Amino acid sequence: MLQHKYAPSNNQGFTLIEFLVAIVIMMVGLMALLQCVNVAIVRNLENQYRDGAVSLADERLAAETAKTFTLISSAEVSRLVIPRPINNTFKNYSVIRSGSTMPDVSGLPLADRDSSDDVYSKIVNIRVSWRYKNNRFEHTMSGMASRSRSNSPNIR
């Protein structure tokens, strides 16, 4: 029996339509993979900015609590803009320092205390804020400096 050399069969390969459908499916998968890379880059940069803010707040708070108790101002509010290097560029951070005092709650009668004994603890607040993609982010750190009745500093 003779067989035709060019007889059509179903297992010769993909048709053009099947090939185009396979390409479209692969392109959708590749686009999703590329979007994941973009999201990872953005999140990494946000974390680097946040790490810079935490580091800056920690430095400023350490500088404040290293002062003697009498030099720590509880009423002064200061505002600074500090550039920090992030990924070979500089990012501006806004730093706001504020403070407050905590009155003596020892229970001593007012007649037994003088006015200098009223303040035994001062709270220092450092707020660092920055902008990224038109969103404002903020990190706040607080520390307390206290003194004993003998006026020796005791930082907690």
Pair of tokens at residue 99: 């403070």
Which pLDDT band holds residue 74 (cuts at 50, 70, 90)?
confident
> Quick one: which of 133, 49, 127, 51 has its CA closest to 94?
127
| Range 123-145 average pLDDT | 93
Of 27 and 6, the structure prediction assigns the larger pLDDT to 27
Which pLDDT band holds residue 156 (cuts at 50, 70, 90)?
very low
pLDDT of residue 107: 56
Q: In whole angstroms, give the CA distance from residue 112 to residue 119.
A: 14
Of 77 and 1, the structure prediction assigns the larger pLDDT to 77
| Range 19-29 average pLDDT | 94
pLDDT of residue 144: 87
Do 110 and 92 touch, CB atoms closer than 8 A? no
- Range scoring the smallest mean pLDDT among 31-45, 47-61, 97-111, 121-135: 97-111
Name the β-bridge partners of 78. Answer: 97
pTM, entire model: 0.69
Q: Average model confidence (pLDDT) for the chain?
A: 82
